[in-house]
Amino acid sequence: MTVYILGLSAYYHDSAACLVRDGVIVAAAQEERFTRKRHDAAFPTAAVEYCLREAGIQADRLDHVCFYDKPVRKFARILESHLAVAPFGARTFLMAMPLWLREKLWTAREVEQALGSVRGEVLFTEHHQAHAASAFFPSPFDSAAVLTLDGVGEWATTSAGVGHDRTLELHREIHFPHSLGLLYSAFTYHAGFKVNSGEYKLMGLAPYGKARFRDAILRELVDLKDDGSFRLNLDYFDFASGLRMTNRRFDALFGGPPRNAEGPLTEREMDLAASIQSVTEDAVLRICCDLQKRTGETDLCLAGGVALNCVANGKIIDSGTGFRRIWVQPAAGDAGGAVGAALSVWHAHLEQPRAPREGRDAMNGALLGPSFDTEQIEAALNEVAARAVVHARAALYDRVAELLAEGNIIAWFQGRMEFGPRALGARSILGDPRDPTMQRRMNLKIKFRESFRPFAPAVLAEHAARYFDLVGDSPYMLITAQVNAAHLLKPAPADAQKTGLDLLRVQRSTLPAITHVDGSARVQTVSRDANAPFYDLLEAFRRRTECPVLVNTSFNVRGEPIVCTPREAYACFMRTEIDYLVLEDRLLDKREQPPWREEDWRARIAPD
């Protein structure tokens, strides 16, 4: 008899649902893609409805529902933490209590109200167990070391262990308030970016600065041991008792208060970013070295928000940790907890075996969201009187490759939407990486975001080694590698003296649109079995230009979730300076579309 398991994450950020049928992931999606609220934390009603619809079942067909953490334990931690610092933090505690008493403590009731009757009881897994399960169970490895790092779950902030077949054991933990994720978020906050949203900006800003605050961080903020264990000096932080991440003592140590959001970026913010990135990498590498020695495993699985730090990920293999291969859950943050919760029921609760396929994971290329058929696309286009030309697939790839080679920017909407924060060739904006103006055009004219933000390359997997110093594959854009020396350019003498954001004007490689200021790139390797349409487009571009690489960024504007539907795709296309839109087999030219009128759309999207 077929067994259906629904995994859920909710209430903190990036709520999501995942449906598993007999151990196979059928569907997974974040709630934000349906509600259009970035990082939506609400109960994932729309994501659940999608997952059930994708499987063709009703909620009463579910055998098990599993939530990705244990609310009572988390509440106990919050209560204990506030009592420890009382009377400080009373305001924060009083603000949080109504939501806890109304919703979070009664998750089982919320699930039952949302779904109606469920065959089995609502189950709960610990937060880091869900992260670890999302990392190991879908991985291509028979056995592997497992590492999860984030802000905080119930109590754990770091967990390490080993997985083998259907078993997963976490044998080492670091507990709140000592958290690598919260440490990084403190610097995110101080640099003027949003916590739980802007950490990737801090990572992108780091190469513009110098790690001149590294010694101060290690001397005053964090006691980092050789085995990667650490303790924070809470005298500098307010996250345990207040509404701010940092306090005045932190301000004094780093030369001033937090930057105002949207204010100018100074050398201080760049140096802070470089410093905390250096410390984070050091901590991750020490933990990995110790974990490899403890387990003897040569494969490593990663999850948790810190696992989205692709720069740190890229150094794990290169830095002598003893690991030869790594696999990162593509939805490494809280959204991926829904995957881990569902798979934990199948493998741990129901004791069903795993059947990993060497070289292939079980995430279906992260293409687990909704797709739209010809009838749905046609209806969306007719609604706005859009003008499109239908192409046979081979002709479409050739035409789009030609347009890209001519310098056009293409919005690409194909198949099932990605699960996780990265666009991987299903909901993407694409450009020619050889164009030295492409990064600036995309950032300022299309994404409406900060100029320093780098773009990622998508490369045909079989050609990746020609362009990037990459060990293995990187299908989910979660590993950073250096651009090969053969493609780097020697800077002019005047360029060698530039610092800060002036570095943006230096062309560093033959692929300037995807080469960051330190010569690195956040690589996505594309194989045909994972995403055939995107692979075929890259191959068409390679045939035309001899370059098997494209700029690939998410199909959205700053502050907006990645587009989900054809209607959202068309709106984003018309709001920006994207030149062409591809909706499955339809190609739309901006110049041929009717006038677009939409008042104050930017005011409705809060900057992230």
pLDDT tens sequence across 510-534? 999 999 999 999 999 999 999 999 9
Same domain, 200 and 308: yes
Domain count across the chain: 3
Q: Which of 293-302, 435-444, 475-484, 521-530 has the lowest mean pLDDT?
A: 435-444
Residues 267 and 199 placed together within one structural domain of the fold: yes
Residues 322, 338, single domain; the answer is no
Pairing of strands 122-124, 24-30: unpaired
Residue 292 lies in a domain: yes
Same-domain check for residues 346 and 485: no
Report the distance separating Cα 247 and Cα 232, nearest Å: 14
pLDDT confidence bin for 76, thresholds 50/70/90: low
CA angle 531, 535, 541 (to 5 degrees): 155
pLDDT over threshold 50, residue 130: yes
| pLDDT > 90? residue 1 | no
- 513 with 600, same domain? yes
**What single-letter amino acid sits at 593?**
Q
Mark whether 489 and 557 lie in a shared domain: yes
pLDDT at 84: 52
Residue 152 lies in a domain: no
Residue at 497 is within a domain? yes
Which pTM value belongs to this model?
0.94
Instruction: Using the Cα atoms of residue 276, residue 340, residue 123 and residue 114 in order, give the sign of their dihedral.
Output: positive
**Average confidence score pLDDT of the chain:** 92
Residue 185 and residue 282 in one domain: yes
Residues 6+ apart with CB under 8 A from 94: none
Q: Is the residue at 44 inside a domain?
A: yes
* 86 — pLDDT class (breaks 50, 70, 90): very low
Q: Above 90 in pLDDT, residue 205?
A: yes
Burial 310-320 (b: 16+ CB within 10 A, else e): bbbbbbbbebe
Angle at 270 between CA 181 and CA 328, to 5 degrees: 35
pLDDT value for 177: 92
Containing domain of residue 263, as a range? 180-328
Amino acid residing at 497? Q
Residues in CB range of 23: below 8 A, 6 or more apart: 343, 346, 347, 352, 354
Classify strands 156-164 and 167-175 as parallel, antiparallel or unpaired. Answer: antiparallel
What's 472's DSSP letter?
A: S
Phi, psi of 577 (to 5 degrees): -100, 30
Give the mean pLDDT of 398-411: 98
Judge whether 106 lies within some domain.
yes
Say what the alpha-carbon torsion angle 43, 46, 47, 50 is, to the nearest 10 degrees.
150
What pairs with residue 28 in β-bridges? Answer: 18
Please list, in sequence order, all residues whose beta carbon lies within 8 angstroms of the beta carbon of residue 174, skipping any fewer than 6 positions away.
Answer: 156, 157, 158, 229, 230
Residue 61 lies in a domain: yes
For residues 96 and 55, state if they share a domain.
yes
For residue 593, what are its two tokens?
């579309």
CATH number at residue 216: 3.30.420.40
103 assigned to some structural domain: yes
Q: Is cis: bond before 177, omega within 30 of 0?
A: yes
Q: What are the pLDDT digits (tens) for 118-128?
A: 777 889 999 99
Above 70 in pLDDT, residue 95? no
On the question of pLDDT at 240 being above 80, the answer is no
Structure-derived torsion over alpha carbons of residues 508, 510, 511, 517, reported in degrees to the nearest 10: -10
Judge if 99 and 238 occupy the same domain.
Answer: no
Tell me which of 71-75, 178-182, 592-596 is least confident. Answer: 71-75
Pair (321, 381) in one structural domain: no
Asked whether 61 and 120 are in contact (CB, 8 A), the reply is no
Cβ contacts of 303 within 8 Å, gap of 6 or more: 131, 132, 134, 135, 148, 328, 329, 332, 336, 340
224-234 pLDDT per residue, tens:
999 999 999 99
Question: What percent of the chain is predicted at pLDDT more than 90?
Answer: 78
Reported as a single tens digit per residue, the pLDDT across 417-426 is 999 999 999 9
User: What pLDDT was estimated at residue 87?
Assistant: 47
Residue 460's pLDDT is: 98
Cα separation of 475 and 319, whole Å? 21
Q: Give the mean pLDDT of 453-470.
A: 96
Q: How far apart are CA 101 and CA 98, in angstroms?
A: 5
Q: Measure the N-to-C terminal CA separation of the chain; round to a whole number of Å.
A: 45
What's the rounded mean pLDDT across residues 542-548? 98
Instruction: Give pLDDT tens digits for 583-593.
Output: 999 999 999 99
Residues 411 and 496 in one domain: yes
User: Which pLDDT value is given to residue 318?
Assistant: 86
Structure tokens at 578: 């994207």
Please check the confidence at residue 64 and state whether its pLDDT lies above 90.
yes
Separation between Cα atoms, residue 132 and residue 150, nearest integer Å: 11
Between 358 and 234, residue with greater pLDDT: 234
Hey, which of 1-5, 115-119, 397-401, 493-497 has the most confident mean pLDDT?
397-401
Q: ∠270-272-274 over CA atoms, to 5°?
A: 70
The residue ranking higher by pLDDT, 12 or 187, is 187
Are 437 and 486 in the same domain? yes
Last residue of a domain, one of 340, 362, 384: 362
Q: Which amino acid is at 359?
A: G
Is 578 within 8 Å of 410 (Cβ atoms)?
A: yes
Tokens of 308: 């989205």
Compute and round to an integer the Cα radius of gyration of the chain. 23
Confidence band for 490, pLDDT divided at 50, 70 and 90: confident
Q: What is the mean pLDDT of residues 1-20?
A: 95
pLDDT at 97: 59
Residue 406's CATH number: 3.90.870.20
**What pLDDT score was predicted for residue 543?**
98
Residue 83, domain member (yes or no): yes
